[in-house]
Amino acid sequence: MQAADLVALNQTKKISIIVMMTAACVGSNYAMLGIINVKFMDVIVFITGLAFGSGTGMAVGFLSWAIYGLINPYGFVLPILIATATMESAYGLVGGLLGREGGKMIHSHPIVAGIQYAIVGLILTITYDLVTNIVFAVSFGIDLRVALIEGAPFTLIHMISNVSIFFVGVLPAIKGIRRLIPELNVNV
C-alpha cells in the first residue's frame, strides 16, 4: 500500500467512527426522549474523544447536537442550538485530552478510575448547564437568576445521571473498544 492509500484509509476510518458515534448519540437521545436530562450523548462524546482524540470527539459532539437539535420534537432556538452543540463538543475535547495524558492521570484501580471519570463528567455537566442556561436567559430576555433557579432541578438531574453514567460506563466502554480495535493506543 502506498502512503497516500494509508492516509485515505485512516480518513475513511475516522469518518466512519464520527458517523457511527454521532448516530449512537442521536439514536440514544431519541430512545430516551421521555426521560428529561438523562442521556447517553455526553458519555458517548466523551468516550469518542478519549478513544479517538479530541478532534473526533468534538466533531461527534457538535454534529450530534446539530442533527438532534435541528430535528428536535421540542423545536429549537438558534443561539441555544449553537451553545448546546458547542458545549457538547467540550466533552469530546476533554475526553481527548485525558486519552492522551490519562495514563498519568487516571488511577489503575477501576473504582478509583470510575470516581475520577465521574468527577470529570460532573465538572463538564456543570459547565455545560451553566453556559446553556445563560444562553437561554439571554435568548428569551429572562433574568439570569430566574433562569438558573428554574433550571436547577433539570441541572441536578443532569448532574446525577452523568455522574452515574460516567462512573459506571467509561472504563468498560474503553476496554470494549480496545478489544475491538487492539491497535488503538488509549492511555487509560
pLDDT digits (tens, 9 = 90+) for 100-155: 765 566 777 889 989 999 999 999 999 999 999 999 999 999 999 999 999 999 99
Instruction: Provide the domain count of the chain.
Output: 1
Non-local (6+) Cβ contacts of 16 within 8 A are none
39-51: burial string, b at 16+ Cβ within 10 Å, e else: bbbbbbbbbbbbb
Does residue 87 contact residue 132 with C-beta atoms inside 8 Å? yes
Q: Which three cell numbers stand for residue 177?
A: 473498544
CATH of the domain at 88: 1.10.1760.20
Residue 100, domain member (yes or no): yes
Residue 185, domain member (yes or no): no
Residue 101, domain member (yes or no): yes
Residue 186, domain member (yes or no): no
Domain that holds residue 37: 3-180
pLDDT digits (tens, 9 = 90+) for 80-89: 999 999 999 9
Environment class of residue 97 by beta-carbon count within 10 Å: exposed (0-12), middle (13-18) or buried (19+)? Answer: middle
Residue 14, domain member (yes or no): yes
Non-local (6+) Cβ contacts of 29 within 8 A are 39, 40, 41, 64, 68
Q: Which three cell numbers stand for residue 45?
A: 462524546
Q: What is this structure's pTM? A: 0.91
